[in-house]
Homo-oligomer: A and B are copies of this chain.
Amino acid sequence: MSEFDDATQVDPDGSTAIHDGWDINGNANGGYLMALAARGLLAVAGRADPISVTAHYLSPGKPGPAQVDAEVVKAGRRFTTVSGRLTSGGKPVLQLVGAFGDLAAVPPAYEHIDVDPPDLPPFEECTPRSRNQGAVEVTMMDRLDVRIHPGHSGWVHGDRNGVPEMTGWFAFRDGRPIDTLALLMVCDAFPPAVFHLDMPPGWVPTVEYTVHVRGIPAPGPVKCVFRSQFVQGGFLNEDGEVWDSTGRLVAQSRQLGLTPLTS
């Protein structure tokens, strides 16, 4: 079993565990937590794919036993909508709502896309995201092979380019295919795009995170781009796109995060 599948197992009664090794300085990654919880919701829905999943982040996810509670709100023809919660250590960690369906069964429809995939050097020529990020330990990088665009990696040594955009490749180190469940994690696996800004350093906590799964990824690493256009009023957005090896969009994401306070 792949590391990701092992770490996102949920029993039929909803009991699960937040696994060690998917964290940043001891707090489980938000995308990992969404994927874990969504696996529980997906099972309750009895569908193949997450279509749209939203999570609100309520307390840090620490390694240990956890529980996914999920309720089908509506089982429709195309979608099953599920409300759910991830609880651990007696505290709510995530509150979720999601629509689940079967992306392979969607009939052909009109298409129009204005946007190109990010322009990236080949996987091998991009900069691996390090496990060590200054004083911060990104232990999940032992499991994820995230490669940052060379022009987007100067922030690591304080060379900020002033453009809140982060692009790169994503793959699992153990070669697990990137399926629609994994996309929920992919969209939160990169360093925040605001690391390119001259912002006071600090944690960027997520308030809310939504992923729209827009396609089933073809085999191979995926290309990702994340942008924070609006850092304002104590909040910031981070919008993501994930593109597969055929150049097709497979996910869109948006986070609402908190800006580190200036005081």
Whether A76 sits at the interface, judged by CB under 8 Å, is: yes
Question: How many identical subunits does the complex contain?
Answer: 2
Whether A200 and B110, one on each chain, are in contact in the complex, defined by CB atoms closer than 8 angstroms, is: yes
Whether B52 and A212, one on each chain, are in contact in the complex, defined by CB atoms closer than 8 angstroms, is: no
Whether B210 and A208, one on each chain, are in contact in the complex, defined by CB atoms closer than 8 angstroms, is: yes
The docked-state distance in angstroms from the alpha carbon of A254 to that of B79 is 19
- From B58, B237, B263, A252 is in contact (CB under 8 Å) with B237
| Set of chain B residues within 8 Å of A249, measured between Cβ atoms | 230, 232
Residues of A within 8 A of B (CB): 51-52, 54, 56, 58-59, 73-74, 76, 79, 81, 83, 85, 92, 95-97, 99, 103, 106-115, 163-164, 194, 197, 199-200, 207-208, 210, 212, 214-215, 228-235, 237, 239, 248-249, 252, 254, 256, 259-263
The docked-state distance in angstroms from the alpha carbon of A233 to that of B96 is 24
3 tightest Cβ-Cβ pairs between the two chains A and B: A106-B234, A52-B208, A112-B231
Known: A95-B81, A208-B52, A256-B52. A164 touches B114 (CB 8 A): yes
Whether B115 and A230, one on each chain, are in contact in the complex, defined by CB atoms closer than 8 angstroms, is: yes
- From B83, B114, B233, A83 is in contact (CB under 8 Å) with B83
Name the distance in Å between A51's Cβ and chain B's nearest Cβ. Answer: 7
| Set of chain B residues within 8 Å of A74, measured between Cβ atoms | 58-59, 92, 95
- From B56, B76, B115, B262, A81 is in contact (CB under 8 Å) with B56
Nearest residue, chain B, Cβ from A259? B109
Name the distance in Å between A52's Cβ and chain B's nearest Cβ. Answer: 4
Known: A95-B83, A234-B107. A76 touches B58 (CB 8 A): yes
Known: A54-B208, A95-B97. A112 touches B197 (CB 8 A): yes
Whether A113 and B230, one on each chain, are in contact in the complex, defined by CB atoms closer than 8 angstroms, is: yes
| Set of chain B residues within 8 Å of A111, measured between Cβ atoms | 231-233
Nearest residue, chain B, Cβ from A197? B112
Whether B233 and A106, one on each chain, are in contact in the complex, defined by CB atoms closer than 8 angstroms, is: yes
Whether A108 and B262, one on each chain, are in contact in the complex, defined by CB atoms closer than 8 angstroms, is: yes
